[in-house]
Structure 1
Amino acid sequence: MNREQLFGIATDWFTNRGWKPFPFQTQTWTAFLQGKHGLLNAPTGSGKTYALWMPIVLDYIKSNPDYKTKHKPGLKAIWITPLRALSVEIKQAAERVANELETGMTVGVRTGDTSSSERTKQKTKMPDLLITTPESMQLMLASKDYASVFKTCRAIVIDEWHELLGTKRGVQVELALSRLKTVAPKMRIWGISATIGNLQQAMEVLLGPRSEALENSSMIRAHINKKINVISAIPEKMDAYPWRGHMGLHLVKEVADIINKSRTTLIFCNTRSQCELWFQALLAKYPEFAGELAMHHGSIARETRQWVEQAIRDEQLRAVVCTSSLDLGVDFAPVETVIQIGGPKGVARFLQRAGRSGHRPGQESNIYFLATHAIELVEASALRRAVQETVVEDRVPYLNSWDVLVQYLVTLAVSDGFYSDAIFKEVQSTFCYQGMTAEDWQFCLNFITRGSQSLQAYDEYKKVEIEPDGKFKVNSRQVALRHRMQIGTIVGDSVMNVKFLGGGYIGSVEEWFVSKLNPGDVFIFAGRKLELSRIRNMEVLVRMASPSAKAVHASWMGGRLTLSSQMSELIREELYAANTDDMSYELKSLGPMFARQRKESIVPAASQFLIETFKTREGYHAIFYPFEGRYVHEALASIMAYRISLLSPITFSLAYNDYGFELLSDTEIDMQQVLDNDLFSPVHLHADLQHSLNATEMARRKFRDIAVIAGLVFTGYPGKVVKTKHLQSSSQLIFEVFRDYEPNNLLFQQAYRETFEHQLEEGRLLIALERIAQQEIVWKRCDKPTPFSFPIITDRLRERLSSETLAERIKKMTASYMK
């Protein structure tokens, strides 16, 4: 069959459904059938799934003209998705095309949710089209004779590539692709990505920086201008002194009004705890929502989540309170409206969430922004401009993740074994390991065979044996079993399953939260009040508590997101605009706050860097406003405190949020001395960071994750999970050994590198200091706290006071400062 006939089949299929293919879909079909690799850049809900399933099926028809009567068995395509939740829909789309074109092709799913009977069936007979995740893909590489399974594969699609890029799961995908290119030479590699700032680099990472695939590739962009309406919900009464989270639950009425106006609404919260709080608050105030309101986040039982997803599709629910668990690709046609509570901290995340409404080609998306405190309205204004100008973040790819490489090498050794030279070339062709030297490679091989230089005395680290012909192979069944159980790069806090005493799984909470509870204590989780009965085998056994019982909300670590660098820049530009006539309606609504800020201090212009100092009962406050995001401020606060203490001995307590940071002390800082000594200089940044922060302690914590991924510590068997504190102490011991006896160990060095690059964002810190060096430093001696400083001060109080006393304390403070 020629291309015209194949396109005829596809177009007829579209016509029968009342659709017409978009230009980007036909461009993708053409490129794919020409044997090209590529990256498809398309917004959510634009038909990107059919842009790639269709040519995969057409390619099969082309190579098998008798496809209606003769079926060619064997795996033909793999579709990798970052979220298991998406697999159901992707499967439905694939089945629709395969069945309605009468190809006889089978579609299967292989994820952590796949039953063992289904897996066994797949071992003997692979489906034609397989949907899987990065982790399950690695598990397949760890099974015997994987090469014969993959050799017939002619296509691999990596969905939501922007989500995997810049994560260790993305590195896992790079390594899997490097192997599959050799095993299945006819395989075409395609990625699907929403808009990111560095699309060209995203394609390089996907295909390999110096590969033949890159030379024979296409970047296809769907020029679909999806209209996104960003509406800021502005409260009638604007407090001049906003504080963190102050406008959150106060806006329950506004949220209820929006729910009542729409068919279906998704309410996005940034954290699971906030999600639980909002669900309770809406039901408490509007009991009529019972049965029509649900909650969805990653710690709730899978069955419940799947029920919620189906109920949205079937229009049984009016609203769902959710977290990023519903960010990606789940296709909900009935969703009309999205509400974002609090700043999403990044443009890409905001666009992704907005795209969940009007999830059909040609439909508009409506997203309401609810600021939890007044300065967040500046964020709302910045986001609206970013949406108009499509300013989106870059995703920075990982380099030299030795822990992921070590895990991958053991994976290959567990299955059929590998020869060093062949795999070295493949690994070096990836983006992540393009700079790997022969010495680095030798370190990794030594590590899996001898347990690195300082652990040679311990047999448990000698996982891989070198056979007489030079093949690296795992021969121990126990090593293979343990390794398969620990494949993956997502390392969280140890989680414990929550179950009713009579059975019935509710979800999972983190170990540290449960460790603070005693039997009889009541906590709110998954929308229910639960009384802790006892803890047994890492399971939290509960019974329903009385509705009137006093309860605490379940909470999770990793709570707060931080501003992306693009978002910080947009916020600064918006703030500078507050000094001009070119103000958005959000900024105009902040008029009373800006007036108060100017009365006490200034609203900085583009050329100014603001420092405020004042005295309260707590002591002497010095507040700095780089507007660079929480993590950068955490590092900056430590550096400033360290540099000031070198001038004269002084002790500080530190506080920071996304807008600035505070140094609080019981003696006054000589600010003139700070300015004269140029303490914002970027010179000696790295050394000062190491001195000011306990970099070793941070690296030690980071090393726990690296040790788990590299298989240095074992996380336990199902039902017998190793407690977090034991994992921490085992990995700390190894960390100390490397520090004292093998400081050039690549995994040890990686812990420091990741601490500085990813946690402290050292590169961004340097750029911020260089920017401040160009600005005029304006130091304002204020009589009392300013509206800008208020959220930072109250954030520090929040760490010390419970929310009840915090609200009362802030009410008093507000009253006294407004006098």
Structure 2
Amino acid sequence: MSAAPLPPKIAEWFAARGWRLRRHQAEMLEVAASGHHALLAADTGAGKTLGGFLPTLAEFAGESVPGEGLHTLYISPLKALAHDVQRNLLTPIDEIGLPIRVETRSGDTPSDRKARQRARPPHILLTTPESLSLLLSYPESAALFSTLKRVVIDEIHAFATGKRGDLLALALARISAFAPGVQRVGLSATLADPEEFRAWLAPNGRVQDVSLVIGEEGAPPEVSILLPIEERVPWSGHAATWAIPQLYEEIKAHRTTLVFCNTRFLAELIFQLLWDANEENLPIGVHHGSLSKEARRKVEGAMADGRLRALVCTASLDLGVDWGDIDLVVQMGAPKGSSRLLQRIGRANHRLDQPSRALLVPGNRFEFLEATAAMEAVEDGQRDGEEFRPGSLDVLAQHVMACACAGPFDEAALLEEVRSAHSYAWLDAERWTRVLDFVATGGYSLRAYDRFRRIVRSPDGLWRLTHPEHAARHRMNAGIIVDSEMLHVRFRNGRDLGKVEESFGATLRPGDTFRFAGMDLEVESLRDLDLIVKAAKKPGQIPSYMGARMPISSHLADRVRAMMVDRAGWARFPDDVREWLEMQDWRSKLPGPGQLLVESFPHSGKHYIVFHTFEGWNANQALGMLVTRRMEERGLMPLGYVANDYAVGIWSLRAVTDPAPLLSPDILNDEFIDWVQDSYMLRRAFREAAVIGGLVERQHPGKRKSGRQVTFSTDLIYDVLRKHEPDHVLIEAAWADARTRLTDVGRLADLLDRAEGQLVHVELERVSPMAVPLLTMIGRESLPSGAADDELLVEAESLAALAMRA
């Protein structure tokens, strides 16, 4: 590749700021000049985003300035990131004096601005995968994208492996049909396997057309674990509320602190506890995805302006947000993965030459081990991530409908275009025909109903919409993120505070109080899908959310297992954690690499069996269901089970003397299929597939269906299809979800394989130290994390005294 010089205007701007062009930024210019696509893997603070945009800025700073029309498309997984990038991109554009117009487009963008963007697009458009897909559904999309030169995909690791990645892959394939020479650029700081992402980024699977650019190494992060000053590391609980006094002191000692929580409930809880401890009235905010757009924008603006001392947040701010004044990141609870931790750490300082400082706050002893494993993985440069899987058929159906909304399409040409996307290179003619039939008629069992007839093949062989109104309905309902049933929280004057789940809102009555968005609120009434509130004088409960749990990654689980049997390494642990492991080693066993430890013991008149799997909550939840069914068949009279990331425990009236038959690999055949088909899990997966595929609409002009209405509609359709058309496209899509995302079936299969040759069964006279955290969850597993931490601590200490007794 020939070196691409930096235009004088940009070179002068770099010099005025005392900056130098980093090696990877220069390579990005070279790759752009060569016409290749690029994947840039660089540490946070290395100037990735500028590296992605630099070729565009250079073209506008050159002698031949591009004309009007869309030139560069920036795709972000988060609305907040797109707005943040716009702020940071406008600075060099203004200071260099480049003739570039930059705008954002998301679900929050006013409709009149969206219409103007289609007629007179900016030079650079910042958007999300969902908004891009909707933009492609308009008839003018071919002309709009014909001038496009570059697509920059930021934080590519965050969504390429999931359904949002499927949607984006299909959108990129369509864009390449409109603008064959468009360059694709992927950016990330945390790629576990860059080659996989090169394949995803490459058109038509031509990996050789994607250049991998590795960024300069930055200063290593400074990561430490916060431990109780006087107390012991807790046995159980996840909220780490013990740390609030110490955390408040850290906030006072730093300029700006970002406090990450793994759930929205925990974010609200930690924010409230910090506010209660806030004797100096420091400006502290809260940010998560269920708050209103106005509330989120207000907090984001305050952070950008340096007006907050601390912000408690969730994954809503995980990615790429560049607030340079942050000098401390705190992770409440276990990070669940080294890549996620590295991403969050990178929010501090956000400069390559300065170390980012982070504190990990474990909620219990297992989380201490997990935090230690994550910290050491970051030090070793080891990363983890989601695996790629075949593209989803419900997403493909949505894309086909978007193409039909844009205009008539040829079946063979669209199939070729779809197959050019890495996620759908596997698609065969039979499945393609079934997807088209579903979009056209709803499928064999539903074709008699006119409302499911959305497209039809014309005499000229092209597929067209059956009625123009289907385009408006598609744009109103399309999307990949299917929220749980939600209610809007509003004051009587209409001010929107955000959303709570319908299942929580249904428990409230007028006069009840709850805490939300940092305020105590009293319920006045429930009107349609609005929960009308007023300011309350007394505190109330914090809403819980049914969002997917983040399981511990396989990589971290392996590290934790290795740490537990590395007795020489225990010296670096706190005394109480070391004593816990020593007593477990003496009383029972410690699970070595590749082993599956199973413990059985009596307790409170029942028989318990605990499988120490370390395979994550999803896999353990599925294992508990399956093993319980087998125990029922064998007359062992199971009474219940409980699961966490590290183990699953089952209690019964009769003892298990040999656990091996309960774990034979054939459990994943008929029994797994029967369980999933009868479970709520598959119905929920079908509901999501039906919404994504467009079979069931959430919104109609002037009104929105409640979550209960959507669930009722999808349950009726599911029962019909399961009986009359079990091979329906959406049932196949739901099965794919249930077998992977919802149950981590791959990890479950690995666990069962391990059990065949490496199962270690220990029969004990009482509960073991390692089983204590699990048993304290019994009866509380339906409570939101942190809701009963005080009670958990009391019960844990009682169980611990029993387990640790010599």
- TM-score band w.r.t. shorter chain: over 0.9
Contact 1:171 1:404 in 2 (8 A): yes
Structure 2, unmatched stretches of 5+, are none
Contact 1:238 1:592 in 2 (8 A): no
The superposition leaves residues 443-479 of structure 1 with CA deviations (integer Å, 9 ceiling, x where unpaired) of 1222222221111110001011322322212252321
Contact 2:201 2:210 in 1 (8 A): no
Task: Work out whether 1:154 is the aligned partner of 2:149.
Answer: yes
Counterpart residue number, 1:230: 223
Moved more, 371-380 or 214-223: 214-223
Amino acid at match of 1:235: P
Equivalent residues in 2 for 1:385-396 (5 A)? 385-396=376-387
Q: Aligned match of 2:645 in 658, 661, 664?
A: 658
1:774 offset after TM fit, Å? 3.3
Equivalent residues in 2 for 1:240-259 (5 A)? 242-245=235-238, 248-259=240-251
Task: Work out whether 1:107 is the aligned partner of 2:99.
Answer: no
Amino acid at match of 2:484: D
**Would the alpha carbon gap of residues 744 and 691 (structure 1) be closer, same or farther in structure 2, given more than 3 Å must change?**
closer
1:6 offset after TM fit, Å? 4.2
Contact 1:521 1:531 in 2 (8 A): yes
> How far apart, in 2, do the equivalents of 1:259 and 1:341 lie?
14
Counterpart residue number, 1:513: 504
1:776 offset after TM fit, Å? 5.2
**Would the alpha carbon gap of residues 241 and 413 (structure 1) be closer, same or farther in structure 2, given more than 3 Å must change?**
closer
Q: Aligned match of 1:674 in 655, 659, 664?
A: 659
**Would the alpha carbon gap of residues 231 and 649 (structure 1) be closer, same or farther in structure 2, given more than 3 Å must change?**
closer
Task: Work out whether 1:766 is the aligned partner of 2:749.
Answer: yes
> How far apart, in 2, do the equivalents of 1:116 and 1:404 lie?
24
Equivalent residues in 2 for 1:269-418 (5 A)? 269-288=261-280, 290-418=281-409
Q: Aligned match of 2:528 in 533, 537, 557?
A: 537
Counterpart residue number, 2:422: 431
> How far apart, in 1, do the equivalents of 2:129 and 2:801 lie?
54
> How far apart, in 2, do the equivalents of 1:260 and 1:689 lie?
52
> How far apart, in 2, do the equivalents of 1:365 and 1:328 lie?
15
Secondary structure of the equivalent of 1:405? Answer: helix
Counterpart residue number, 1:699: 682
Task: Work out whether 1:122 is the aligned partner of 2:117.
Answer: yes
Task: Work out whether 1:556 is the aligned partner of 2:545.
Answer: yes
Counterpart residue number, 2:563: 574
**Would the alpha carbon gap of residues 415 and 691 (structure 1) be closer, same or farther in structure 2, given more than 3 Å must change?**
closer
> How far apart, in 1, do the equivalents of 2:604 and 2:15 lie?
73
Counterpart residue number, 1:267: 259
The superposition leaves residues 545-572 of structure 1 with CA deviations (integer Å, 9 ceiling, x where unpaired) of 10xx251111111263211211211111
Contact 2:523 2:533 in 1 (8 A): yes
1:736 offset after TM fit, Å? 1.6
**Would the alpha carbon gap of residues 301 and 712 (structure 1) be closer, same or farther in structure 2, given more than 3 Å must change?**
same
1:334 offset after TM fit, Å? 0.7
Task: Work out whether 1:221 is the aligned partner of 2:214.
Answer: yes
The superposition leaves residues 490-542 of structure 1 with CA deviations (integer Å, 9 ceiling, x where unpaired) of 00112221111133221111111101101110000011100000111311110
> How far apart, in 1, do the equivalents of 2:266 and 2:727 lie?
43
Task: Work out whether 1:611 is the aligned partner of 2:617.
Answer: no
The superposition leaves residues 30-67 of structure 1 with CA deviations (integer Å, 9 ceiling, x where unpaired) of 111111112111122211111121211223455xx353
Task: Work out whether 1:164 is the aligned partner of 2:159.
Answer: yes
Contact 1:41 1:220 in 2 (8 A): yes
Q: Aligned match of 1:500 in 474, 478, 491?
A: 491
Counterpart residue number, 1:16: 16
Secondary structure of the equivalent of 1:404? Answer: helix
1:818 offset after TM fit, Å? 6.0
Task: Work out whether 1:708 is the aligned partner of 2:700.
Answer: no
Q: Aligned match of 2:774 in 759, 784, 792?
A: 792
Amino acid at match of 1:505: D
> How far apart, in 1, do the equivalents of 2:115 and 2:674 lie?
55
1:816 offset after TM fit, Å? 5.9
Moved more, 155-164 or 562-571: 562-571
Secondary structure of the equivalent of 1:760? Answer: coil
**Would the alpha carbon gap of residues 718 and 97 (structure 1) be closer, same or farther in structure 2, given more than 3 Å must change?**
farther
Amino acid at match of 1:86: L
> How far apart, in 2, do the equivalents of 1:259 and 1:687 lie?
54
Secondary structure of the equivalent of 2:570? Answer: coil
> How far apart, in 1, do the equivalents of 2:420 and 2:138 lie?
24
Amino acid at match of 1:424: L
Number of residues of Structure 1 aligned to a counterpart in Structure 2? 800
> How far apart, in 2, do the equivalents of 1:241 and 1:394 lie?
29
**Would the alpha carbon gap of residues 161 and 24 (structure 1) be closer, same or farther in structure 2, given more than 3 Å must change?**
same
Contact 1:500 1:542 in 2 (8 A): yes
**Would the alpha carbon gap of residues 252 and 99 (structure 1) be closer, same or farther in structure 2, given more than 3 Å must change?**
closer
Task: Work out whether 1:640 is the aligned partner of 2:623.
Answer: no
Task: Work out whether 1:729 is the aligned partner of 2:712.
Answer: yes
Moved more, 415-424 or 771-780: 771-780
> How far apart, in 2, do the equivalents of 1:640 and 1:622 lie?
11
Secondary structure of the equivalent of 2:669? Answer: helix
> How far apart, in 1, do the equivalents of 2:741 and 2:304 lie?
38
Task: Work out whether 1:76 is the aligned partner of 2:71.
Answer: yes
**Would the alpha carbon gap of residues 102 and 551 (structure 1) be closer, same or farther in structure 2, given more than 3 Å must change?**
closer
Amino acid at match of 2:333: G
> How far apart, in 2, do the equivalents of 1:453 and 1:680 lie?
39
Secondary structure of the equivalent of 1:491? Answer: coil
Secondary structure of the equivalent of 2:68? Answer: coil
The superposition leaves residues 300-344 of structure 1 with CA deviations (integer Å, 9 ceiling, x where unpaired) of 122222222222232221111111111111101111111111111
Amino acid at match of 1:659: Y
**Would the alpha carbon gap of residues 742 and 597 (structure 1) be closer, same or farther in structure 2, given more than 3 Å must change?**
same
Counterpart residue number, 1:189: 184
Amino acid at match of 1:283: W
**Would the alpha carbon gap of residues 118 and 198 (structure 1) be closer, same or farther in structure 2, given more than 3 Å must change?**
same
Contact 2:46 2:352 in 1 (8 A): yes
**Would the alpha carbon gap of residues 60 and 35 (structure 1) be closer, same or farther in structure 2, given more than 3 Å must change?**
farther
Amino acid at match of 1:350: L
Moved more, 305-314 or 26-35: 305-314
Secondary structure of the equivalent of 2:104? Answer: strand
The superposition leaves residues 339-365 of structure 1 with CA deviations (integer Å, 9 ceiling, x where unpaired) of 111111111111111111121121101
> How far apart, in 2, do the equivalents of 1:23 and 1:770 lie?
46
The superposition leaves residues 400-433 of structure 1 with CA deviations (integer Å, 9 ceiling, x where unpaired) of 4111111111111111221111111010121221
**Would the alpha carbon gap of residues 93 and 787 (structure 1) be closer, same or farther in structure 2, given more than 3 Å must change?**
same
TM-score relative to the length of structure 1 = 0.93
Q: Aligned match of 1:748 in 724, 731, 742?
A: 731
Moved more, 306-315 or 90-99: 90-99
**Would the alpha carbon gap of residues 417 and 520 (structure 1) be closer, same or farther in structure 2, given more than 3 Å must change?**
same
The superposition leaves residues 645-695 of structure 1 with CA deviations (integer Å, 9 ceiling, x where unpaired) of 4444523311111111111012222x1x434x4x43324532232245555
Secondary structure of the equivalent of 1:295? Answer: strand
> How far apart, in 1, do the equivalents of 2:594 and 2:388 lie?
33
**Would the alpha carbon gap of residues 61 and 263 (structure 1) be closer, same or farther in structure 2, given more than 3 Å must change?**
closer
Task: Work out whether 1:524 is the aligned partner of 2:515.
Answer: yes
Task: Work out whether 1:46 is the aligned partner of 2:33.
Answer: no
Counterpart residue number, 2:442: 451
**Would the alpha carbon gap of residues 718 and 296 (structure 1) be closer, same or farther in structure 2, given more than 3 Å must change?**
farther
Identity of aligned residues (%): 31
> How far apart, in 2, do the equivalents of 1:776 and 1:420 lie?
53
> How far apart, in 1, do the equivalents of 2:423 and 2:607 lie?
47
Structure 1, unmatched stretches of 5+, are none
**Would the alpha carbon gap of residues 351 and 809 (structure 1) be closer, same or farther in structure 2, given more than 3 Å must change?**
same
> How far apart, in 2, do the equivalents of 1:491 and 1:52 lie?
30
1:585 offset after TM fit, Å? 2.2
Secondary structure of the equivalent of 2:286? Answer: strand
Contact 2:327 2:349 in 1 (8 A): yes
Secondary structure of the equivalent of 1:335? Answer: coil
1:195 offset after TM fit, Å? 2.2
Secondary structure of the equivalent of 1:375? Answer: helix
Contact 2:334 2:371 in 1 (8 A): yes
> How far apart, in 1, do the equivalents of 2:177 and 2:393 lie?
22
> How far apart, in 2, do the equivalents of 1:792 and 1:362 lie?
43
Contact 1:196 1:395 in 2 (8 A): no
